[in-house]
Amino acid sequence: MLSPAAKKRLFSLLASGLRFAGGLFYDRRYLVGVYFDDSFTGWKWVVRGILFQKVLRFNRNVPWPVSPLNTISWGRNITFHPDDINMFNEMTGKYFQNFAARITIGKGTWIASNVGIITANHDPNDLTRHLPGAEVVIGESCWIGMNAVILPGVRLGPHTVVGAGSIVTHSFPEGHCVIAGNPARLIRRLEPGQAGAGVAPK
């Protein structure tokens, strides 16, 4: 019977080998954090990603594991913390359109099913072209509800909650608020002590 310390050492050795093997397909900087250092979950995503990204060519240029049901225009044009790599591996149909400008997602942010984050709209005078892109920045510990759409140039401050189905057309850089609607508007302010007071999702 292995002791907890021995199990931890064994897992560390296995993770080192898996990180080397995974690094043949992905950027090793993403193969770290809670889903890789303390769990086999991330390595399951690596195996699935090799099939769908490297063999079947879904999201083939993204340098970390991604669910085949999510779409990322350009993997090198999005910034996030490795501990939040789970948002790209849920089988939930998220759309990150970032070929024209960067998307930045703060640590601890949760993004629900079918959310679209857009950095460039079509030109209404010529639908074959896009307007110039504008960066989208989402602060730390935000929650983007199901079917919400965030449009080019939007900046959301920390602890912003976006209601399901909302269309966010302008920024709420101060954060600590709940927004909802089409177009999204301020519903209420959140006191700093309220943010993060609930039960963390599993």
Q: Quote the number of domains for the chain.
A: 2
Does 199 have pLDDT greater than 80? Answer: no
Comparing C-alpha atoms, which of 117, 106, 103, 41 is closest to residue 75?
A: 103
Last residue of a domain, one of 68, 84, 105: 68
Does 66 have pLDDT greater than 50? Answer: yes
Rounded to whole angstroms, the Cα distance separating 161 from 73 reads 25
- Same domain (yes/no): 97, 47: no
- Same domain (yes/no): 63, 85: no
Does 202 have pLDDT greater than 50? Answer: no
Asked if residue 87 belongs to a domain, the reply is: yes
Per-residue pLDDT at 86: 97
User: Which phi and psi angles does 104 have, rounded to 5°?
Assistant: -120, 125
Asked if residue 197 belongs to a domain, the reply is: no
- Same domain (yes/no): 150, 177: yes
Q: Which residues are catalytic?
A: 122
Higher pLDDT, 196 or 87: 87
Asked if residue 103 belongs to a domain, the reply is: yes
- Same domain (yes/no): 78, 167: yes
CB atoms closer than 10 angstroms to residue 35: 23
Task: Note down the domain range covering 176.
Answer: 69-191
- Same domain (yes/no): 38, 58: yes
CB atoms closer than 10 angstroms to residue 57: 10
| Percent of the chain residues past pLDDT 90, beyond the cut | 81
Rounded to whole angstroms, the Cα distance separating 166 from 185 reads 9
Q: pLDDT of 27-36, one tens digit each?
A: 999 999 999 9
Asked if residue 59 belongs to a domain, the reply is: yes
Per-residue pLDDT at 9: 79
- Same domain (yes/no): 11, 109: no
Asked if residue 131 belongs to a domain, the reply is: yes
Q: pLDDT of 110-161, one tens digit each?
A: 999 999 999 999 999 999 999 999 999 999 999 999 999 999 999 999 999 9
Last residue of a domain, one of 68, 83, 104: 68
- Same domain (yes/no): 99, 11: no
Does 198 have pLDDT greater than 70? Answer: no
- Same domain (yes/no): 30, 55: yes
Last residue of a domain, one of 17, 52, 68: 68
In which element (H, E) is residue 5 found? Answer: helix 4-22
What CATH number does the domain containing 179 carry? 2.160.10.10
Asked if residue 132 belongs to a domain, the reply is: yes
**Three-state DSSP class for residue 122:** strand
Return all residues near 188 (Cβ < 8 A) that are at least 6 apart. 177, 178
Per-residue pLDDT at 194: 60
The two tokens of residue 35 are: 């889903």
Asked if residue 155 belongs to a domain, the reply is: yes
- Same domain (yes/no): 105, 54: no
Asked if residue 200 belongs to a domain, the reply is: no
Per-residue pLDDT at 8: 75
